[in-house]
Amino acid sequence: MGSLTTPAASRPQPSPTVVSTQTGIHPRLEEIVTRHLKYPFLKPLALHTCAAYKKMLAIWKGTSPLILDAGCGTGDSTRYLAQQHKNSFVVGVDQSAHRLAKAASLPENALLIRADVTDFWRLLAADQIKLSQHTWFYPNPWPKAEQVQRRWYAHPAFTAVLALGGRLQVRSNWQIFMHELALALKVAGCVPPPIVPITPVQPISLHERKYRDSQHSLYELEIHL
Protein backbone atom coordinates (compact mmCIF):
# COMPACT_ATOMS: atom_id res chain seq x y z
CA MET A 1 0.00 0.00 0.00
CA GLY A 2 1.31 3.43 -0.89
CA SER A 3 1.91 6.14 1.68
CA LEU A 4 -1.05 8.42 2.48
CA THR A 5 1.19 11.32 3.42
CA THR A 6 1.61 14.28 1.08
CA PRO A 7 5.12 14.55 -0.40
CA ALA A 8 6.96 17.46 1.20
CA ALA A 9 7.58 19.13 -2.17
CA SER A 10 3.83 19.31 -2.93
CA ARG A 11 2.66 20.57 0.46
CA PRO A 12 1.59 24.23 0.58
CA GLN A 13 4.43 26.22 2.08
CA PRO A 14 3.53 28.54 4.97
CA SER A 15 3.85 32.24 4.26
CA PRO A 16 6.41 34.08 6.41
CA THR A 17 5.13 36.88 8.61
CA VAL A 18 6.19 40.46 7.99
CA VAL A 19 9.56 41.15 9.62
CA SER A 20 10.61 44.71 10.44
CA THR A 21 12.83 46.62 12.84
CA GLN A 22 9.83 48.91 13.34
CA THR A 23 7.87 48.12 16.47
CA GLY A 24 5.37 50.95 16.04
CA ILE A 25 4.40 53.85 13.79
CA HIS A 26 7.36 55.35 11.94
CA PRO A 27 8.56 58.43 13.86
CA ARG A 28 8.67 60.57 10.70
CA LEU A 29 5.36 59.48 9.21
CA GLU A 30 3.34 62.54 10.25
CA GLU A 31 6.07 64.87 8.95
CA ILE A 32 6.25 62.99 5.62
CA VAL A 33 2.49 62.98 5.03
CA THR A 34 2.20 66.67 5.97
CA ARG A 35 4.92 67.57 3.47
CA HIS A 36 3.28 65.59 0.67
CA LEU A 37 -0.07 67.26 1.35
CA LYS A 38 1.55 70.69 1.19
CA TYR A 39 3.65 70.37 -1.97
CA PRO A 40 2.54 69.08 -5.42
CA PHE A 41 4.04 65.88 -6.83
CA LEU A 42 5.77 66.88 -10.09
CA LYS A 43 7.41 63.62 -11.18
CA PRO A 44 6.69 62.93 -14.90
CA LEU A 45 4.05 60.31 -15.54
CA ALA A 46 5.14 56.94 -16.95
CA LEU A 47 4.26 56.70 -20.65
CA HIS A 48 3.02 53.11 -20.40
CA THR A 49 0.64 54.15 -17.60
CA CYS A 50 -0.69 57.05 -19.68
CA ALA A 51 -1.39 54.63 -22.55
CA ALA A 52 -3.07 52.15 -20.20
CA TYR A 53 -5.18 54.94 -18.72
CA LYS A 54 -6.42 56.00 -22.17
CA LYS A 55 -7.32 52.38 -22.92
CA MET A 56 -9.33 52.16 -19.70
CA LEU A 57 -11.22 55.37 -20.49
CA ALA A 58 -12.10 54.12 -23.97
CA ILE A 59 -13.54 50.87 -22.59
CA TRP A 60 -15.24 52.31 -19.50
CA LYS A 61 -16.73 55.38 -21.23
CA GLY A 62 -17.85 56.78 -17.86
CA THR A 63 -21.16 54.94 -18.03
CA SER A 64 -21.04 53.07 -14.70
CA PRO A 65 -19.59 53.46 -11.19
CA LEU A 66 -15.82 52.88 -11.23
CA ILE A 67 -13.97 50.60 -8.81
CA LEU A 68 -10.16 50.49 -8.75
CA ASP A 69 -8.38 47.40 -7.40
CA ALA A 70 -4.81 48.57 -6.72
CA GLY A 71 -2.05 45.96 -6.85
CA CYS A 72 -4.42 43.31 -8.17
CA GLY A 73 -1.74 40.69 -8.88
CA THR A 74 -3.25 37.80 -10.83
CA GLY A 75 -6.68 39.42 -10.84
CA ASP A 76 -8.53 37.20 -8.36
CA SER A 77 -9.67 40.16 -6.26
CA THR A 78 -10.70 42.07 -9.39
CA ARG A 79 -12.87 39.15 -10.46
CA TYR A 80 -14.36 38.94 -6.97
CA LEU A 81 -15.23 42.65 -6.97
CA ALA A 82 -16.75 42.46 -10.46
CA GLN A 83 -18.96 39.56 -9.38
CA GLN A 84 -20.04 41.44 -6.24
CA HIS A 85 -20.70 44.75 -8.07
CA LYS A 86 -22.26 43.77 -11.38
CA ASN A 87 -23.45 47.31 -12.15
CA SER A 88 -19.96 48.75 -11.70
CA PHE A 89 -16.84 48.69 -13.86
CA VAL A 90 -13.85 47.22 -12.01
CA VAL A 91 -10.29 47.99 -13.06
CA GLY A 92 -7.45 45.95 -11.61
CA VAL A 93 -4.04 47.64 -11.81
CA ASP A 94 -0.69 45.93 -11.29
CA GLN A 95 2.84 46.78 -12.36
CA SER A 96 3.80 43.18 -13.15
CA ALA A 97 3.07 41.79 -16.60
CA HIS A 98 4.13 38.38 -15.29
CA ARG A 99 1.45 38.37 -12.58
CA LEU A 100 -1.24 39.73 -14.89
CA ALA A 101 -0.46 37.03 -17.48
CA LYS A 102 -1.56 34.41 -14.94
CA ALA A 103 -5.08 35.87 -14.67
CA ALA A 104 -8.06 33.71 -15.57
CA SER A 105 -10.98 35.04 -17.59
CA LEU A 106 -12.89 37.98 -16.14
CA PRO A 107 -16.52 39.12 -16.22
CA GLU A 108 -17.43 41.69 -18.87
CA ASN A 109 -17.47 44.46 -16.27
CA ALA A 110 -13.79 43.98 -15.35
CA LEU A 111 -10.47 44.97 -16.91
CA LEU A 112 -6.84 44.33 -15.95
CA ILE A 113 -4.26 47.01 -16.65
CA ARG A 114 -0.47 46.99 -16.40
CA ALA A 115 0.44 50.37 -14.95
CA ASP A 116 2.10 52.23 -12.11
CA VAL A 117 -0.86 52.65 -9.79
CA THR A 118 0.52 55.85 -8.24
CA ASP A 119 0.53 57.45 -11.70
CA PHE A 120 -2.89 55.94 -12.42
CA TRP A 121 -4.28 57.67 -9.30
CA ARG A 122 -2.78 60.96 -10.46
CA LEU A 123 -4.34 60.68 -13.91
CA LEU A 124 -7.77 59.95 -12.45
CA ALA A 125 -7.48 62.87 -10.04
CA ALA A 126 -6.31 65.24 -12.78
CA ASP A 127 -9.47 64.39 -14.75
CA GLN A 128 -11.54 64.89 -11.57
CA ILE A 129 -12.88 61.34 -11.82
CA LYS A 130 -14.44 60.02 -8.63
CA LEU A 131 -14.30 56.35 -7.66
CA SER A 132 -17.20 54.55 -6.06
CA GLN A 133 -14.67 52.28 -4.36
CA HIS A 134 -10.95 51.59 -4.29
CA THR A 135 -9.29 48.60 -2.72
CA TRP A 136 -5.81 47.89 -1.38
CA PHE A 137 -5.80 44.17 -0.72
CA TYR A 138 -2.49 43.20 0.93
CA PRO A 139 -0.22 45.74 -0.75
CA ASN A 140 3.53 45.38 -0.32
CA PRO A 141 4.09 46.95 3.13
CA TRP A 142 7.76 47.78 2.45
CA PRO A 143 8.53 46.87 6.07
CA LYS A 144 12.07 48.25 6.35
CA ALA A 145 12.01 51.58 8.18
CA GLU A 146 13.97 53.28 5.41
CA GLN A 147 11.29 52.19 2.90
CA VAL A 148 8.50 54.12 4.61
CA GLN A 149 7.91 56.51 1.68
CA ARG A 150 7.20 53.55 -0.60
CA ARG A 151 4.13 52.70 1.48
CA TRP A 152 1.17 54.16 -0.39
CA TYR A 153 -0.06 56.43 2.41
CA ALA A 154 3.43 57.94 2.74
CA HIS A 155 3.89 58.33 -1.03
CA PRO A 156 3.46 61.75 -2.68
CA ALA A 157 0.57 60.31 -4.73
CA PHE A 158 -1.51 59.81 -1.58
CA THR A 159 -3.03 63.26 -2.22
CA ALA A 160 -4.53 61.85 -5.43
CA VAL A 161 -6.02 58.91 -3.50
CA LEU A 162 -7.78 61.36 -1.19
CA ALA A 163 -9.10 63.35 -4.17
CA LEU A 164 -10.71 60.26 -5.72
CA GLY A 165 -13.30 60.02 -2.94
CA GLY A 166 -15.44 56.93 -2.60
CA ARG A 167 -15.03 54.01 -0.24
CA LEU A 168 -11.45 52.97 0.48
CA GLN A 169 -11.14 49.36 1.66
CA VAL A 170 -7.75 48.11 2.85
CA ARG A 171 -6.64 44.69 4.08
CA SER A 172 -3.20 43.79 5.43
CA ASN A 173 -1.40 41.20 7.52
CA TRP A 174 0.87 43.85 9.08
CA GLN A 175 -0.83 45.75 11.87
CA ILE A 176 1.69 48.61 11.80
CA PHE A 177 0.78 49.29 8.17
CA MET A 178 -2.85 49.73 9.18
CA HIS A 179 -2.07 52.01 12.13
CA GLU A 180 0.16 54.13 9.92
CA LEU A 181 -2.58 54.40 7.31
CA ALA A 182 -5.06 55.50 9.97
CA LEU A 183 -2.61 58.18 11.12
CA ALA A 184 -2.02 59.37 7.54
CA LEU A 185 -5.77 59.72 7.08
CA LYS A 186 -6.00 61.69 10.32
CA VAL A 187 -3.20 64.03 9.18
CA ALA A 188 -5.17 64.55 5.96
CA GLY A 189 -8.21 65.66 7.97
CA CYS A 190 -10.20 62.44 7.91
CA VAL A 191 -11.72 60.81 10.96
CA PRO A 192 -9.51 57.72 11.36
CA PRO A 193 -11.61 54.57 10.98
CA PRO A 194 -11.35 51.52 13.25
CA ILE A 195 -8.94 48.72 12.35
CA VAL A 196 -10.87 45.46 12.52
CA PRO A 197 -9.42 41.94 12.82
CA ILE A 198 -10.90 39.67 10.16
CA THR A 199 -11.10 35.93 9.53
CA PRO A 200 -12.08 35.48 5.88
CA VAL A 201 -14.28 32.50 5.10
CA GLN A 202 -14.01 33.05 1.34
CA PRO A 203 -10.57 34.46 0.50
CA ILE A 204 -10.73 37.28 -2.05
CA SER A 205 -7.25 36.66 -3.45
CA LEU A 206 -4.38 34.21 -3.50
CA HIS A 207 -2.56 36.33 -0.93
CA GLU A 208 -5.51 36.27 1.45
CA ARG A 209 -5.83 32.50 1.16
CA LYS A 210 -2.11 32.05 1.75
CA TYR A 211 -2.06 34.34 4.78
CA ARG A 212 -5.19 32.77 6.25
CA ASP A 213 -3.85 29.24 5.80
CA SER A 214 -0.57 30.32 7.43
CA GLN A 215 -2.61 31.61 10.41
CA HIS A 216 -1.53 35.22 10.05
CA SER A 217 -3.51 37.89 11.88
CA LEU A 218 -5.45 39.82 9.23
CA TYR A 219 -6.85 43.34 9.50
CA GLU A 220 -9.29 45.51 7.57
CA LEU A 221 -9.94 49.25 7.47
CA GLU A 222 -12.75 50.99 5.58
CA ILE A 223 -13.40 54.69 5.15
CA HIS A 224 -15.55 56.88 2.90
CA LEU A 225 -13.27 59.62 1.62
CATH architecture of the domain covering 25-224: 3-Layer(aba) Sandwich (3.40)
Torsion of CA 41, 224, 184, 122, to 10 degrees: -10
Helix, strand, coil % in the chain, rounded to nearest 5: 40, 15, 45
Per this entry, what is the length of the chain?
225
Report how far residue 39's alpha carbon sits from residue 57's, in angstroms, rounded to the nearest whole number.
28
Average pLDDT, the chain: 93
Report how far residue 47's alpha carbon sits from residue 43's, in angstroms, rounded to the nearest whole number.
12
Report how far residue 169's alpha carbon sits from residue 206's, in angstroms, rounded to the nearest whole number.
17
Report how far residue 165's alpha carbon sits from residue 223's, in angstroms, rounded to the nearest whole number.
10
Give pTM, 2 decimals: 0.92
- 201 Cβ neighbours under 8 A, 6+ residues apart: none
The full set of domain ranges for the chain reads: 25-224
- Residue 192, pLDDT score: 86
Stretches in the chain below the pLDDT threshold 70: 1-13
- Residue 12, pLDDT score: 54
DSSP state of 20: -
